[in-house]
Structure formats: C-alpha cells, structure tokens
Amino acid sequence: MTVMIERDEAAGATANRYHYTRTVEIAGRTVQARVERDFYINQSLAVAEVLNDQMTWTKLAAEAPGNWWHDTPTPRHDVHAVTVLGPLTEQLLRRAAEILAAPPTTVTVSPHVHGAISALLATSYGFDAEHRIDPDEIAWAYSHGGALHIIEHPDGSVTFTKAHRDDCPFITSAGTQDCDEDCYFEHPADAKLQLGE
Ligand SMILES: [Zn+2]
C-alpha cells in the first residue's frame, strides 16, 4: 500500500549491544526506524522518527522493549542485527506510514484559498466541472512526490505545489526565494522498480 523508498541503513553488533537503523522516505518525509538491543532491557529502545522542518528527529511511534527484548538473542559480535531486528523496524515504519497518511486535523482553508481551489478545478476540468477523488488517489498522492504546499502570494496569486521538499528555500520563504534546484522526486514507476514490485 504505502510506498517506502529506501534511503539508508546502518547496523552493527558488539559484545554488549547490536543495533539497526533503517531510513526511508514516506510521502515525501524522511522517516527512520531505530532499534537498539542492549544487554540490559532498560538501555534498549525501538522508535520510529520523522525528520522535521528544523532537521531534528521527532518521535512518531515506539515499541516498548518488554514487547520484543525477550524474543531477541543476547548481544554477541556475530549477531546479524539486520535479520534479527529487521521485522521490528518494518513494523515501526508501517506504523509511522499510517500516522503520516492520516490527514492533518488542523488545516483550515481561507476564503482566498477556497477561491483558488475553485479556479484550479475550473481551469483543469472546465468552468462547470465536477471531479470526484477516491481514497486510493488521495493515498497515492500522499505517497508520491512532495507534501502539498499552498502558498498565498502578496499579489493575490496562489501556488499549489508537490514539487518541492519541505526544507526547499521556495517553501521555507513562502515563495519569496527560488527553488535551489535540489528538489527531486523519483517517478512513481521507477520507485516501484527499485522496490522490486
Ligand atoms: Zn524546491
């Protein structure tokens, strides 16, 4: 259902602990699942975190060590952390994806943006257009391209865009600076190929 684009992974093991961190992109957001299996249960953790606009990690979901620590082997140099902790990172990333796919509850649409949506519909589908979007299309849009940004410009124009990452200067400056040209979203067909679907 949810498309996750693999970005990075790191794993390792010592005599006292092993860890696995998997970083993916979900709906244009960078999300990591981080599992640390220590010799001691109270020094172990399993969390999913999203990279926020301030470039720090915000916790989205966690799994209490009591739910998985006892089912995992005692740390040793030769523990294969990816194999042992992989299922847990997958579960954490799935939960994070569900949280990110939930519609934000605080969005309000100004009368001006309402007018701009009317114009977007009218210019895309005709002045008397009606167009119904299914839930699948909404989920697809969340998981491909950037997050939707709506920028109201001082001259009364409104930009709707999914073409930029959240920390692009165009977005952070509310349209007063240009894109730094580092915004790139993989074509959905290529993302699928990479996942072997
Ligand atoms: Zn950009």
Reported as a single tens digit per residue, the pLDDT across 48-104 is 999 987 888 988 889 999 999 999 999 999 999 999 999 999 999 999 988 887 766
Question: Domain segments of the chain: what residues?
Answer: 4-101, 111-194
Predicted confidence (pLDDT) at residue 146 exceeds the cutoff of 50: yes
Of 22, 62, 25, 23, residue with least CA distance to 44: 62
Predicted confidence (pLDDT) at residue 197 exceeds the cutoff of 50: no
DSSP lists the bridge partners of residue 150 as: 160
- Asked if residues 100 and 26 have their Cβ atoms less than 8 Å apart, the reply is yes
Q: Give burial (CB, 10 Å; 0-12/13-18/19+) of 155.
A: exposed
State residue 159 phi and psi, 5-degree precision.
-105, 130
Residue 176 CA to ligand 1 center (angstroms) comes to 12
- Please count the other Cβ atoms lying within 10 Å of the Cβ belonging to residue 48: 28
Residue 182 CA to ligand 1 center (angstroms) comes to 6
Residue 184 CA to ligand 1 center (angstroms) comes to 8
Alpha-carbon torsion, ordered 182, 188, 190, 192, to 10 deg: 130
Residue 87 CA to ligand 1 center (angstroms) comes to 34
Residue 180 CA to ligand 1 center (angstroms) comes to 6
Residue 110 CA to ligand 1 center (angstroms) comes to 24
Amino acid letter, residue 159 = T
